[in-house]
Amino acid sequence: MTRPLQHECRIECRFEVHFTRYAFSPANPLLHDLLLEHSENGTQGVVIVDGGLAQAQPGLAGDIEAYFTSGDLARHFRLAVRPLVISGGEACKNDPALLEQLYAQLAERHVGRQAWLIAVGGGALLDLAGYVAATTHGGLRLLRLPSTVLAQGSAGLELTASLNFHGRKDFMRCFAPPGAVINDETFLRSLPERERRAGIAEALRVALVDEPDFFQQLYARRHALARGDRQTITDMIARSARLHLRRIGLPATERGPNPLELGQWAALYLEELTNGALHHGEAVALGIALDVLYSHQALGLTQPETTAVFELLLALGFEVNHSALAGLDVPAALATYREHGGGCYILLPGLGEPRAVTRIDPRLMARCVDALLHIDPHDLPALCRLEAALGEARRRA
């Protein structure tokens, strides 16, 4: 018997995250310089724009086309097709026909492997575009311009792209690191309040598991965050992005279970249950609320820490007693997540102290769900006294 051949392969990627305003203005050299630095004469580009963003900023698609077809950049870089405006949101990750249409556009325009696919939009649109880029000719170059709070602070920085399949959230996933990310603050100015609020959930999650000082900052500035203060939001995004980059930058041997999965078992199930009607950030906020309450009951997270998390969630306007919780089948959700999360759940015995566990008590977690549904969320001492408060709530009912 011969010895087996052995080979070790390491995949490295490097990209920069830029913070700017008016990325598609001729007066801003950032995008121009970035593309010319990493392109050869005649390099093609395909731009995909989130329909929601295009509707909120009606001149955007025209500005993008003008940016690429005039001036010095047009002599070295050409659009293979006019900017493609497609509907964003979770629905775009559910539509195989849309995926096929994008592949057809690239094939019909003879887009080569050295081309840039430039994605401008929210997290779902970035996922779709990233999946297309990664699976066309073995990988097109990908440039992300996230347009939401959530995407600029976390989703736009991911090394993967994912699509949904038969109602299963993020079932199809591939490696799709960007060549660069450009966070343009001006995209955020047209965001609806609901989208802005939902994006804060990911910043809260990374603060809870990685940096208690960041959590304290979010808590101290909760009212400014709630009213959408521009500087407070941009400061939060920058710090969240830095923490997310630090987390995804760890070597695989050091990563272990992903602490950023706090609350994810419930979030994924609730998104699937509501068919995307519950936005990702809203589902994450509910998942955080459940895991924090469970951690207080089972792992010793203190009442002041638990109360502070709920005070922040409520100040931001999250519905921690959202009616979708009534349909949360805890055993089924936990079992489903074992397939997705590698068999571990993340809990929080202390701020900045994430713990990976292989089992969550479904009965205790179901009581946490019940508590959120039946106890006044503003009565935080009662919420923390879960058993007694549940009995009182049922007597009142």
Domain boundaries defined on the chain: 16-190, 193-242+257-396
User: Which CATH architecture fits 16-190?
Assistant: 3-Layer(aba) Sandwich (3.40)
* pTM for the predicted model, two decimal places: 0.91
pLDDT on residue 156: 93
Instruction: Quote the radius of gyration of the chain (alpha carbons, Å).
Output: 22
pLDDT on residue 394: 66
Under DSSP, is residue 6 helix (H, G, I), strand (E, B) or coil?
coil
Residue 130, both tokens: 């990233």
- Kindly give the confidence (pLDDT) of every residue in the chain, 397 residues in length, as a single tens digit, with 9 standing for 90 and above: 788 888 887 778 889 999 999 999 999 999 999 998 877 777 899 999 999 999 999 999 999 999 998 878 888 888 999 999 999 989 999 999 999 999 999 999 999 999 999 999 999 999 999 999 999 998 999 999 999 999 999 999 999 999 999 888 889 999 999 999 999 999 999 999 999 999 999 999 999 999 999 999 999 999 999 999 999 999 999 999 999 998 876 554 445 578 889 999 999 999 999 988 899 999 999 999 999 999 999 999 999 999 999 999 999 999 999 999 999 999 999 999 987 766 789 999 999 999 999 999 999 999 999 999 999 999 999 998 887 777 776 666 5
Is 49 exposed, middle or buried (CB count within 10 Å of its CB: 0-12, 13-18, 19+)? Answer: buried
pLDDT on residue 254: 47
Cα–Cα distance, 346 to 344 (Å, whole number): 7
**Number of neighbouring beta carbons within 10 Å of residue 254:** 7
pLDDT on residue 247: 81
Q: Which residues contact 388 (CB under 8 A, 6 or more apart)?
A: 382
pLDDT on residue 389: 73
Locate tokens 């592949």: which residue? Answer: 103
pLDDT on residue 9: 79
**Number of neighbouring beta carbons within 10 Å of residue 14:** 8
Please give the CATH superfamily to which domain 193-242+257-396 belongs: Dehydroquinate synthase-like - alpha domain (1.20.1090.10)
pLDDT tens per residue across span 249-268 = 655 444 557 888 999 999 99
pLDDT on residue 252: 47
pLDDT on residue 185: 96
pLDDT on residue 393: 67
**Number of neighbouring beta carbons within 10 Å of residue 135:** 16
Q: Which residues contact 329 (CB under 8 A, 6 or more apart)?
A: 269
pLDDT on residue 253: 43
